[in-house]
Structures are given as C-alpha cells and as structure tokens.
Amino acid sequence: MIRVFIVAASPLARAGLENLLAARGAQVVGSIAAIETLGDLLSEAAPDVVIVDSSGQPIESTLESVAASGLAVDVPLVIVGEGISAAASAEALRAGIRAALPADISPEQLVAALEAAASGLLVLHSSHVAEGLPAASSPAPALDELSESLTRREVEVLQMLAGGLSNKEIAARLSISDHTVKFHVASILGKLGAASRTEAVSIGIRRGLVLL
C-alpha cells in the first residue's frame, strides 16, 4: 500500500484527494495547506510520495515554493494543477519533481503516477510528450569530454540517484553522513554541468555512467 501525503491550500481539495486515494487503496498519512510547513512532518509521516495540488495559483509559484523548500531532494513529489504546460512539466522534472500533471487526469492515472514516482520513476503526461521530446530526425549532439572525471564513489552515488534514493537513503546504504552525500551530489552536479539531480541522472545515462 502506497503512503501519500497531501499538500493543498483548499480544504475541499484536500478532502477530495483523501477520498479519491483511499478509495483506490492508497494510505493518506497526512495533509497540510502549505508546502513550507511540510519538512517538519516528513520524518513522522514517512510518506512514499507527496502530492501537491497547485490549483488556484500559477504553477511557477508552486515550483518556486518547492525549490525553496528543498524537499524534492528528500521525498518524491508530484504536482497536479490547472494550466500545466509541457514547458512547465519539463521545468518541474529538471527541478527534481517526479511529475507535473494536469488537473483533468483520471483518478487511475493519478494513482499510477504516484506509484511510479514512489518507485523512482519520472512521469510525463502523454499530452506533453510531443513538445517535450526532440524530433526524431534531430541528430543527438556530441558529448564533450568531462573536465574532471567522477570518482568511483561519485559514480555509486549517481547510480543511487538514478534509483530515486534520497540523501538519507544513500547515506545509509554507503554508511556515510548526510553531509558527505550532499558534498558528493554537489560535486557530481558540478562535474556534469547539471542544474539538478534529474539532469545529472539524464547526463549520466547518456554518458554510460548509469546502468539501467
């Protein structure tokens, strides 16, 4: 059973999501109105995934709030809202969010997206695929040589990032501190020229550093 935490400004939206998810076998472990207060509740609630309802506010504002909170590093996040374009969805993925989906998706699609995100996958709505992917006829750009190669430990951390592990989970797997993991992640981003963990994984896959 997937454990879901709900963030939605509207009490009606929170209640609606709770009923929808409970009816489809998900366990709602908590709900709040603003993402800024979520951090203190995560350790106790221990959700598999967090759903953020951005209805009623620009998606850009929601993305800024998520980025400021830094929570996308620690827990899989899925945003659902009105007016989410392919560009906004792509920006969300680059920011480490697992999915940014339109509000008119079906309950079954929503639950499937949450389960995929909790499993470490990125989710792109079918309506955004044509705009979000390059044309088939476009040749893949050549990859420049890295100015500095990743160390063996950094390659290990990158592989775990690709598996959707949080910093705490990586630290436990490698028996190192959270601080050390953050140092490795920052070094990986710098060496790969990536702006986010998601982009680093994408570059790592293209360079053959990440095994799928």
174 with 69, same domain? no
112 with 169, same domain? no
For the stretch 81-115, pLDDT in tens is 887 888 888 888 888 889 888 888 899 999 999 99
pLDDT at 130: 57
Last residue of a domain, one of 132, 165, 194: 132
pLDDT at 175: 92
Q: How many independent structural domains does the chain possess?
A: 2
* Residue from 67, 54, 32 nearest 103 by CA: 54
Domain interval for residue 186: 152-206
Q: Does 50 have pLDDT greater than 90?
A: yes
Q: What is the mean pLDDT of the chain?
A: 85
Q: What percent of the chain has pLDDT over 90?
A: 38
pLDDT at 66: 82
| The two structure tokens encoding residue 140 | 């893949």
80 with 180, same domain? no
Cβ atoms of 74 and 46 closer than 8 Å: no
CATH of residue 197's domain is 1.10.10.10
105 with 16, same domain? yes
Tokens 């499993």, residue?
A: 119
50 with 79, same domain? yes
For the stretch 142-190, pLDDT in tens is 566 777 888 989 999 999 998 889 999 999 999 999 899 999 999 999 8
21 with 95, same domain? yes
Query: What are phi and psi for residue 202, nearest 5 degrees?
Result: -60, -45
pLDDT at 144: 65
Q: What angle do CA 103, 201, 139 make, to 5 degrees?
A: 90
Cβ atoms of 72 and 66 closer than 8 Å: yes
pLDDT at 13: 92
Is 212 inside any structural domain? no
pLDDT at 90: 82
Is 103 inside any structural domain? yes
Q: What is the mean pLDDT of residues 10-14?
A: 92
More confident residue, 135 or 188: 188
CATH of residue 74's domain is 3.40.50.2300
